[in-house]
Amino acid sequence: AQSVAQPEDQVNVAEGNPLTVKCTYSVSGNPYLFWYVQYPNRGLQFLLKYITGDNLVKGSYGFEAEFNKSQTSFHLKKPSALVSDSALYFCAVRDGAGNMLTFGGGTRLMVKP
Amino acid sequence: DAGVTQSPTHLIKTRGQQVTLRCSPKSGHDTVSWYQQALGQGPQFIFQYYEEEERQRGNFPDRFSGHQFPNYSSELNVNALLLGDSALYLCASGTGYKNIQYFGAGTRLSVL
Query: What is the C-alpha to C-alpha distance for residues B4 and B109, in angstroms, rounded to an integer?
Result: 18
At B47-80, the pLDDT tens digits run 999 989 999 899 999 999 999 999 999 999 999 9
Calculate what percentage of chain A has a pLDDT beyond 90: 81
- Does pLDDT of B91 surpass 90? yes
**Mean pLDDT in chain A?**
93
Q: What is the pLDDT of residue B24?
A: 97
CB-closest option in B43, B48, B105 to A42: B105
Give me the pLDDT at residue A43, please: 85
Which SS3 state, helix, strand or coil, does residue B112 take?
coil
Question: Rounded distance, CA A87 to CA B27, Å?
Answer: 27
- Put simply, the answer to whether A34 touches B100 (Cβ < 8 Å) is yes
Average pLDDT for A45-62: 92
Identity of the residue in B4, B97, B104 whose CB atom sits nearest the CB atom of A94: B97
Contact indicator for B32, B7 with CB cutoff of 8 Å: no
> pLDDT tens digits, residue range B3-26?
999 999 999 999 999 999 999 999
CB-based contact, A14 to chain B, within 8 Å: no
Split at pLDDT 50, 70, 90, the class of A44 is very high
State the pLDDT confidence band at B99, using cuts at 50, 70 and 90: confident
Q: How many contacts, defined by CB atoms under 8 Å, are there between A and B?
A: 58
- The mean pLDDT value for B20-46 works out to 95
Q: Does A32 touch chain B (CB under 8 A)?
A: yes
Please give the residue of chain B at the shortest CA–CA distance from A98.
Answer: B97
Residue B37 has pLDDT above 70, yes or no: yes
Nearest-Cα residue of chain B relative to residue A99: B97
- Where does the pLDDT of residue A42 fall: very low under 50, low under 70, confident under 90, or very high at 90 and above? confident
Cβ atoms of A27 and A93 within 8 Å: the answer is: yes
